[in-house]
Structure 1
């Protein structure tokens, strides 16, 4: 850009010099100014085109800005060199023709200095505009990045809180509530008739308070899989017929006859899914005789093993 201006100025000076050497009329000052104005306008158009392209993308802005700064530095350096050359040429030209065209030379020198000053001011103004637009662009970009980071941080925080809440729910679901009981018959002899509910009145453990020692029935407070166990001891030369029932439906049955005089004890157990509110108990299926002492327990127990 500055090369074109300087080349144009050099051409004008040479033209003036040749015109004086050929004793031709001096070129019109307005024609000269018009040509200079055209060059300035073309330079201004080029600068405006470069300014429009800056806003396309951040990467292009940085690249173009770097180029502009480099070109500006080169232009300033070139302008200084050309200005010195121009001053030298003008001074030489003035010395060579001062006696004939002193007035014209002074006017031309003033015009050239004014043009240089005007062009320099315009270049500085364009540079300031570019700096302001680049600064605005980076400020807007930084604000957008800050908003995006803030939104992302909020989303991550919300996700962490939601995940923690879901984990707490899962942990609560994985906790198996305690529901366990064990009760015994402490009487030495217990005679049962057919289809009689067996009551175990002495309670050793009753976690969850599901077992009723007055009825001998366990009522589930939690839906899940339960394991029930019954141990009974048989009177010598007697028979015991027992079953574990769930809501009146048989889950497990056992029969034992003792003819050895050892008062043998037998255990039966069964697992079953029991709904909340359902009852499980022990019942005799036929006439039976239970025996109990310090080493022989008649007991009924149950525990929740899975929810």
Structure 2
């Protein structure tokens, strides 16, 4: 647009110079020829003047049109400059806002990270302090105490028993935790853990005694004893088993059994204890 404006101005100057030079030349020529032929040339001179005036009028119109184009171009340049300035301001403001938002976001993020690190450090310090305090105390206290559970029962309700018959020891010597039932002969665990169970029994002369320790209906230990003629031997069997709360243990015969019971000399017993 600037290039077009400069070109129009140069054309305008050239046209003006040509017009003035032509006009001076025509006037001078007319004056020189006036003396030679006043009558013949007056008409031609007048005709030339009229043509020159018409040419001048046309030239003025062209100059006016060119001037309007120049003014219009200047206005467009001014508007373009204004638009460019406004666009630059918008871009600058947008960049400023973006910078501010980014800076605030980073500041908040760093603040949150710092706070979280401080919290973690505090928790670690507390945990270290508690560990330093609790562990020595726990060592001094020793292992946690276990509530004692044990029982000891004797005197079977029957001495002669058929196969697969439960042996019920009716007399309770000990029953810490109240797990043994003398009516059913069954021990029920109230605390989960590792238990040991033991059975001692004596066999009648010349008879067999074949007993088993049963857990939840499954044999976990079996022992057989034979009483020879003239003697009544005693036998013992033990078993260690893990027990959950509610598990049950009792004694059952495997085959026909005859026990020898004499409180003074022979005695059958059933014993159990929670180890750990």
TM-score with structure 2 setting the length: 0.50
Give 1 or 2 for the bigger CA radius of gyration: 2
